[in-house]
Amino acid sequence: MIEDLIKRKGKSVYKISKESGIPYMTLSDIAKGKTDLRNVNAKTLFALSESMGMSMDELYKSFVINVERQHIERPGNLPYELKESINALIKAIEQGKELIDCELSQVLGDINMSESWGLIDSVRAKDLRKTYVFDILDDIREKEAVNG
């Protein structure tokens, strides 16, 4: 949730509201997840990102990663080791680590192992690979291309 990100930045919803000009109730709904960040207009997203000291892209990606993290932690049918390696990857991304190749390799290995042992089916394995390996690699490549 955005609320967690606001807290990690050492701010409050009230302070961000005052700094950004976003009405408090609007920002409160966004922070608590009542309003999905993907449904917020560009003006609000821009004001929020500026007040957080982030680009709109960084804010949005942080939100998407948190949504995916919440989604993956809820299912009880993932093997413990796979959950742990995904959580380690997400934590590395949240901390802004640039070199996450070890975490990516661990996640890929745990997905493959879980599939080969029959702990997850091939459809779930393919989805997990896409979400937690290939999409992240694509994001890294995009970021490198932009930063040159």
For residue 96, the model assigns a pLDDT of: 74
CATH domain 2-54 topology: 434 Repressor (Amino-terminal Domain) (1.10.260)
Q: Where are the domains of the chain?
A: 2-54, 75-147
Q: What is the 3-state secondary structure (H, E, C) of the chain?
A: CHHHHHHHCCCCHHHHHHHHCCCHHHHHHHHCCCCCHHHCCHHHHHHHHHHHCCCHHHHHHHHHHHHHHHHHHCCCCCCHHHHHHHHHHHHHHHCCCCCCHHHHHHHHHHHHHHHHCCCCCHHHHHHHHHHHHHHHHHHHHHHHHHHC
For residue 76, the model assigns a pLDDT of: 53
Segment-wise mean pLDDT, segments of 10 residues, the chain, 148 residues:
80 92 91 80 90 84 59 60 87 79 92 92 91 85 72
